[in-house]
Amino acid sequence: MLHKEIETVGDGIYRVPIPVPFPMKYVYCYVCREADGWSLIDVGFRWPEAMRAWEAAFRQLGIKPRHIRAIYITHFHPDHFGLAGWMQQQTEAPIWISEPDYAMAERVWGEESAQASEVAALFLRHGVPDELVSEIEENMWRLSLRVSPFPVLTILDHHEIVLGQRRWTVIPVPGHSDGLVSFYQPESRQLLVSDHVLDRITPNISVWPGAHPNPLEQYFSSLRKVEELDVDVALPAHGAVIRQFRERIGDIFRHHEKRLQKMKALTKGGCTAYEVANLVFGHKPLTAHQWRFAVAETLAHLEYLRSIGQVQKEEYHDVIVYAS
């Protein structure tokens, strides 16, 4: 059974809530009726409740798995990508993903992945205590089991795709991931934003091994790109549909400006990224999973400040210190 209702958000386009075992509770995937079948945008996290939700959604919409013609993955994160292999087994449909996130999916979720140990090594250099690093590394190994089987992927290199029998422009919006894409429909003024812009929370922007070293700079550039579009309705992957799109982008810019100024002030006497993260995020107990994002997001802000000359980075005894 679906916990929340499927919404109709366009001509032949449905917003389907798929449960995830994280605080945001759902990832909203999109199901589009085409002339010769159906297409999907994102598939959710691999766990039994998500599979049951898809089976219920297919029944409700009258879809047989063989009716699915294409699956588009907006980015490689597990709450969007984790069920891709399972869904491909059910449907035999091609799975399309951008070239940067094709590479990151292989790097992070592939059989030869060393991402957990690389994140552990990165965090040790940024002052994260050994015990917490071990917990984060273990959490990442467990998470990788939720992204299986690994699907056969096809690189999405089209400028346009058809969703709901209309042409949508594919817009790269790196920041939240290097290869995140949005889809824009100019006639209906709809933008399918995935995790690029969310209605209440701000998307996580983090530094990870193998990814862009200054993701916050990327993110700001991507926000300015979509801010120029004529958008009446933005369709995100978490939270409510956004109807005041430019206002929400303004809110996100202001949030990051405050966060940057706070972190710059905290580094006055010299701090590791972990010390800054602890001061910003550590006022309540965090799980290893939450600490991973807190440290990686802190790093994104500190690296942005470094790139614009607001803080300096030095290394002492194999530990990196930022100082404003």
Give residue for tokens 């991931």: 177
pLDDT score at 3 = 67
Strand order in the sheet with 13-19: 7-10, 13-19, 26-34, 37-41, 68-72, 95-97, 153-155
Grouping H, G, I as helix, E, B as strand and the rest as coil, residue 245 is: helix
**Partners of 18 in the beta sheet?**
27
The DSSP call for residue 229 is: S
Digit-coded pLDDT (tens) for 281-308: 988 899 999 999 999 999 999 999 999 9
The long-range contacts involving 56-61, CB below 8 angstroms and separated by at least 24 positions, are 56/1, 56/2, 57/2, 57/6, 57/16, 57/18, 57/31, 60/2, 60/6, 61/6, 61/14, 61/31
Task: Give strand ranges (E) for 5-164.
Answer: 7-10, 13-19, 26-34, 37-41, 68-72, 95-97, 153-155, 160-163
Digit-coded pLDDT (tens) for 254-282: 999 999 999 999 999 999 999 999 999 98
111 burial class (0-12, 13-18, 19+ CB within 10 angstroms)? exposed
pLDDT score at 282 = 85
pLDDT score at 278 = 97
pLDDT score at 193 = 98
pLDDT score at 60 = 96
- Structural tokens at position 293: 């994002």
* Whether CATH 3.40.50.970 fits 7-323: no
- Structural tokens at position 146: 């939720």
From first to last of its 324 residues, the chain has per-residue pLDDT tens of: 456 899 999 989 999 999 999 888 999 999 999 999 999 999 999 999 999 999 999 999 999 999 999 999 999 999 999 999 999 999 999 999 999 999 999 999 998 899 999 999 999 999 999 999 999 999 999 999 889 999 999 999 999 999 999 999 999 999 999 999 999 999 999 999 999 999 999 999 999 999 999 999 999 999 999 999 999 999 999 999 999 999 999 999 999 999 999 999 999 999 999 999 999 998 889 999 999 999 999 999 999 999 999 999 999 999 999 999
CA distance 72 to 57: 18
**Crossing angle for the helix pair 115-125 and 130-144, to the nearest 10 degrees:** 160
Grouping H, G, I as helix, E, B as strand and the rest as coil, residue 113 is: coil
Q: For strand 166-172 and strand 181-185, is the pairing parallel, antiparallel, or unpaired?
A: antiparallel
pLDDT score at 1 = 47
